[in-house]
Structure 1
Amino acid sequence: MPPISTILFILLIIITIINISTSDVCDKLKDDKTAFNYCKKVHGNREEENKSKNSNPKLKYKMRISYTPRYELACMTLGCICQYYGGKSSNRLTNDCTLPNGQKLKKAKRKEWRMLTDQEKMDTFAAIAEMKKNGEFDYLARLHKDAFEAGKWHGCTSFFVVHREFLKRAEIILRKINPNISMPYMDVTLDARLPNPADSILFTKEFIGSTDGNGNVIDGPCANFKTLQGDPYITRNVGKEGGRLMNEDDVQWILGQTKLDSIMTYTVPGDKCPCEITNKWPEFVHGKTHTYFGGLMFDTALSAQDSCAFFTFHNFLNLIFEKWRYMHQTREQRCTEYPKDNPDCCPADQYRNSSMYLMEPLLNCDGLKNEYNDNMYEYEDRSVYTCNATTECPSIYMFCDRSKGKPYCASKVKLGGNCKGFPPGTDVCWNGTCVNDVCVYVPTTTPLPTTTPLPTTTPLPTTTPLPTSTIKMPVETTTLALPTTVTDESTMLPSTLSLPSIKLSSTSPPVEVKTASPLPTTVNMESTKTAESETKKEPDFSPITTPKALEPPNSPIRISKSPSSTSNPLPITVPGEMKKDLPNVAPIDTTPLPSTATTFKITGPNPIERKSTPTTKKVQNTTPCNPIKLSTGEQISEYLRRLFGGKPKNKCKN
């Protein structure tokens, strides 16, 4: 019997060989810490599962869930899921489905988070909250946790197809709550363009929620979600645990591949697999994004508990997978081609005809079917949110990044975030402005509504100061022009009044017309009809009112109507120094004027005056005349004499 030291030495050699064969695969990724860690984790889970199959039952793989197949979620037509939605279908193999409200069920239209309308976003938030409340999100999270820890779904060729089915099932459940919505996708390349992607508006209550100082998600649709471990919040530590977001270069590298096994890859192969591993493979890039989100997303086994991030990010990965299939495969190839089953590269559970773990009765190859796109969902392509040198992005949550050559749409930055490196005038910040490379809130002055009364200090639209107006009385003029303020309808003069006008002059003393003063001089308005027919110019008879809001302050001239009478004449107050030139007149006749009297109009420097066409023909004096210049007293006497029906004196020099 060999010495015990020899036996220990041989065991050490065997363990070393095993470790080398296991680590050699992942060691090729040593320069990429995130990819290396992901590779090691998948390898470790796979080996642990293999050991549990042959070990003591007490060491059997932990926390395997009790699972009952959900055949309604395996449907590939709308008619098939119609009964699950409570509707009626003429044929389960077709897309005919009438919902209980009479609406026809349509396939889902998957949009990017930031392209949702306000109503779509609100409905999606409500459905996500309901899925957590009714336990469906926890059910899906347990499926994913069990599959990853069992070494399934990840690390090899079935990665895309099983997650394609997993997403379809989540969306079927989501649309049972509201058939008018779909599962959004999260294009993280929009956020990867920012100086600090963690500052994206994506990580706010507007979308997947923000976190407190402990990394707890405190708002957004996934706020206050309890974890399977019993924690009161789901967690994220965006950008604090390494990794990076998938960017446009990653997407273009994937879309540029021509071989299927560069997409459906042997991600974590055995040491004898004849493939050249690279950290650019989709599953490794996906792992880097998981790491960047941190928190529950950092641990792939727990990641589906962050429902807002996990499902919408994987929905974006599926979009890239679908796009590659349409670019590089025919319709027939899309549903038939699957990487070669190779025991040196993949475990048997990921072979073409193996059952989808926990999603039986489907097989892995069923995840290739065209029925997913034909019947269940379609994507709004990324091309809808593009921009160029002259056009902007179509979403208010995006801006056009023209700082790096070709313009691309990028996610806006939240307040307090880094907005450095963009051209001046770029609308980088959400509800803010970029100041010293930081997005800050800058309040703007809200204009007053149009119904707000103008303040008393607002200048009136007139260039003539009202209080300084004086009177000029040329004999040939008969149009009354008085600066007028009418405060409301009760102050309008009766339609039976008619009054000639007085023009203002800068040389004559002012004459004020008031209603509050006694009547030193009275005039019978009825006698003006005779004078009207002899004038050269007809007055404009359109009644006018002035809005109260435009009333000039301290106006010296105001006309009002007595509430006790509808036909009171207009009193006129004349300065004392002019009374000596006025003749004695009879008291005014207070008999109401006939209804045929012409309409009274006050004209003057009123900014809102309306004009109307005179109704009488103008009389034009064609006789040559050299007018006699009258004194102020003579002008007033002549005016009043004509007003009371007297014949005009000869105004011309012979």
Structure 2
Amino acid sequence: MHCLTLECICPLFRGDVSGNQCILPNGKPLQRAIRKEFRTFSSEEMALFLETMRRFKKSGYYSRLGMIHRRSGVHSGPSFFPWHREFLKRLEIVYRSFHPENTAPVLGLPYWDSSLDGGLPAPEDSIMFSDYVLNIYFLNLIFFIKLLGEADDFGFVTNGLFANWTTMDGRHSFQRMFGDQEDGEFFNEGRIDYVLSQTSVDKVLTYSLPLHTCINYELDDRFLEYSHDYVHYFISGDMQERFSSSNDPIFFMHHGFVDSVWEMWRQKRQTRFQRERDYPRDDGECMPEWHFSDAFMPMLQPLRNLDALSNNYTDNMYEYAKRPSCPNGDSEECGNTKFLWCDVKTNIGHPVCLAKVKPGGNCKGFEWSTEICYNGQCLEGRCTRVLEQQNKKYSKYEKQQKQIDKVYEHWHTESFMRR
């Protein structure tokens, strides 16, 4: 599982190595995985993701891999990023091995760009967190395509794609308690821009929890690991704690995005040589030894922290599709998806893609937009379904007609009595 070439993982896919390629049983070459923002998946890709995750969970491997993070996930220091990069790579390899009949030689784990939801009045009302259902015929089966579901009053996720997924500790479902932590927030462009503007590696791979002996090291609330933390806090529930966060599958989607931001910085600020060698100084006064560059990754041996800086990850194993954006102010640019739209008004001259709001959700301040609501319209700060609007309109006219009829009846009665 420590492989960094497709030829190395070929046996897991029951493929044959021919030259420099892994040929799958269906005759197609295994390719580097493409990680896309979840909401830009086509209907067929969503169906494939649903079926693959079902098989992955049923096999028990999802929970077994989750236990690795539960027991040894490295945080609060420079090795946070390398460790999670290798962990996510291993998770993705096993996930891809459950693709039905190896139907998707390129489809990798999706990432979740929470900045698309963070710009909403109530991010928890994003269509992402709904029981949206779409029927699709795929692989000779009918699939009910779902999004990430809603939580009940106790925080248990009871509908959507991962409804009632049992947890590593045996609970019937994981929990989400949106917004109950004061420090919780989703990503935003300011936080991402801060990371991309850094020119020193120790401002990206940071001493995020420096030892008390660490002096002259300035912390910043916009450190990438902190921004990552705040998303965990906003979702809360299982995502709040390190030992339980991998119960919720949004965990790996979130970490995919964090890894993509790190890679954007690497591509922008480092040469190929620097990407594989630059690491904060092994300073025992600022961080524990397991964060040192040459330290072994807990439960991910034989790799060391420095090994996960290799260019082979994105050269051979996976690549990231670009984040949804709409520089020309056209919602089609956001990924040609029914789940995203382009906000051209909030920041004039800087249009951004945002998630649509689910029916009944908070859209206050966006009444001007005809696109913010999924299958509805923003009326008095709430997204109202089209059918509900029609019914309300009908009820309004019906009420007016009754008032007219009442006036007419009164007039008719008085006229009759005068005769």
Normalised TM-score (structure 1)? 0.54
Q: What is the aligned partner in structure 2 of residue 344 from structure 1? A: 285
Match status 1:272 vs 2:213: yes
What is the DSSP-based 3-state SS (H/G/I as helix, E as strand, rest coil) of the residue aligned with 1:82? helix
Q: Separation in 2 of the partners of 1:223 and 1:131?
A: 15
One-letter amino acid of the structure 2 residue matched with residue 443 of structure 1? L
Report if the CA contact (8 A) 1:413-1:430 is conserved.
yes
Equivalent pairs: percent with the same residue? 38
Give the secondary-structure state (helix, strand or coil) at the position aligned to 1:439: strand
- TM-superposed CA distance for 1:90, in Å, is 3.2
CA distance in 1: counterparts of 2:329 and 2:56, whole angstroms: 43
* Pairing 1:426–2:370 present: yes
Inter-partner Cα distance in structure 1 for 2:227 and 2:331: 31
CA contact (8 A) 2:331 2:353 kept: no
1:296 to 222, 226, 238: 238
**Alpha-carbon shift at residue 390 of structure 1 (Å):** 5.3
What's the counterpart of residue 54 of structure 2? Answer: 129
1:425, distance to aligned residue in structure 2 (A): 4.0
Cα distance, 1:168–1:440 mapped onto 2, change above 3 Å: same
Match of 1:367, SS state, is helix
Please state how far the C-alpha of 1:419 moved relative to its aligned partner: 1.0
SS at match of 2:13: coil
**1:215 pairs with 2:155:** yes
Q: How does 1:220-239 map to 2 (within 5 A)?
A: 220-239=160-179
Per-residue deviation, residues 396-445 of structure 1 (Å, max 9, x unmatched): 11111123222111000001101121262431111111111100111299
Q: SS of the counterpart of 2:22? A: coil
Residue type at the aligned position of 1:316: F
Q: Secondary structure at the match of 1:427?
A: coil
Give the match's secondary structure for 2:383.
strand
Report SS of the residue matched to 1:352: coil
Structure 1 contact 356–362 (Cα < 8 Å) conserved: yes
Which residue in 2 is equivalent to 1:334?
275
RCO comparison, higher one (Cα < 8 Å, 6+)? 2
Structure number with larger C-alpha Rg: 1
Contact 1:399 1:426 in 2 (8 A): no
Mapping for residues 66-215 of structure 1, pairs under 5 Å:
73-90=1-18, 94=20, 96-148=21-73, 153-178=74-99, 179=102, 180=104, 181-205=107-131, 206-215=146-155
Residue identity matched to 1:129: R
User: In 1, distance between residues paired with 2:158 and 2:3?
Assistant: 35
Alignment partner of 1:323 out of 239, 243, 264: 264
Contact 1:387 1:400 (C-alpha < 8 Å) held by counterparts: no
Q: Secondary structure at the match of 2:16?
A: coil
CA distance in 1, matches of 2:230, 2:275: 27
For structure 2, which runs of at least 5 residues remain unmatched after alignment?
Answer: 132-145, 391-419
Any idea what SS the aligned residue of 2:341 has?
Answer: strand
**Residue 297 of structure 2 contacts residue 305 of structure 2 at CA under 8 Å; is this kept in 1?**
yes
Deviations 1:551-575 (A, max 9, x none): xxxxxxxxxxxxxxxxxxxxxxxxx
Q: Deviations over 1:53-100 (max 9, x none)?
A: xxxxxxxxxxxxxxxxxxxx2110111000111111136xx4x10111
What is the 5 A alignment of 1:498-509?
none
The verdict on how the C-alpha distance between 1:436 and 1:80 changes in structure 2, with shifts beyond 3 A counting, is same
Find the residue that maps to 2:277 and give its secondary structure: coil
From the superposition, tell whether residues 416 and 323 of structure 1 become closer, same or farther in structure 2 (CA, over 3 Å). same
Give the C-alpha shift of residue 126 in structure 1. Answer: 1.4
Q: Separation in 2 of the partners of 1:434 and 1:404?
A: 16
* Residue 302 of structure 2 is aligned to residue 361 of structure 1: yes
Give secondary structure in 2 for the equivalent of 1:213.
coil
Q: CA separation of 1:444/1:268 partners in 2, compared to 1, >3 Å: closer, same or farther? A: closer
Matches within 5 A, 1:375-390: 375-382=316-323, 384-389=324-329
> Aligned equivalents of 1:236 and 1:423: distance in 2?
28
Name structure 1 gaps, 5 residues minimum: 1-72, 447-654
Partner of 1:226: helix, strand, or coil? coil
Tell me the C-alpha RMSD between the 2 structures. Answer: 1.7
Question: In the aligned structure 2, how far is the partner of 1:390 from the partner of 1:371?
Answer: 36
Contact 2:329 2:343 (8 Å CA) reproduced: no
CA distance in 2 between partners of 1:411 and 1:445 (Å): 22
1-structure distance, mates of 2:369, 2:232? 34
Q: How many residues align?
A: 365
Aligned counterparts of 1:432 and 1:426: Cα–Cα separation in 2: 8
Q: Distance in 2 between matches of 1:320 and 1:283?
A: 11
| Equivalent residue, structure 2, for 1:250 | 191
Matched with 1:241 is 181
Distance, in Å, in 1 between the alignment partners of 2:247 and 2:34 is 24
Q: Distance in 2 between matches of 1:444 and 1:171?
A: 42
CA distance in 2, matches of 1:356, 1:89: 29
* Structure-2 change in CA distance of 1:82 and 1:354 (3 Å): same
Structure 2 match to 1:488? none
| TM-score, with length taken from structure 2 | 0.84
The C-alpha deviation readout for 1:346-368, integer Å capped at 9, x for no partner, is: 11111111111100111111110
| 1:373 and 2:314 are equivalent in the alignment | yes
Q: Could you say which structure has the higher strand fraction? A: 2
Q: Is the 8 A contact 1:192 1:246 kept in 2?
A: yes
User: In structure 2, what residue type is equivalent to 1:196?
Assistant: A
**CA separation in 2, counterparts of 1:241 and 1:436?**
28
Q: Could you say which structure has the higher helix fraction?
A: 2
Q: Does the 8 Å contact 1:387/1:409 carry over to 2? A: no
1:387 CA drift (Å): 4.3
* SS of match in other structure, 1:202: helix
Q: Which amino acid aligns with 2:111?
A: Y
In 2: Cα distance, 1:253 partner to 1:141 partner: 31
**d(CA) in 2 for partners of 1:101 and 1:194?**
44
Report the AA paired with residue 257 of structure 1: Q
Q: CA deviation at 1:214?
A: 1.6
Equivalent AA in structure 1 for residue 12 of structure 2: Y
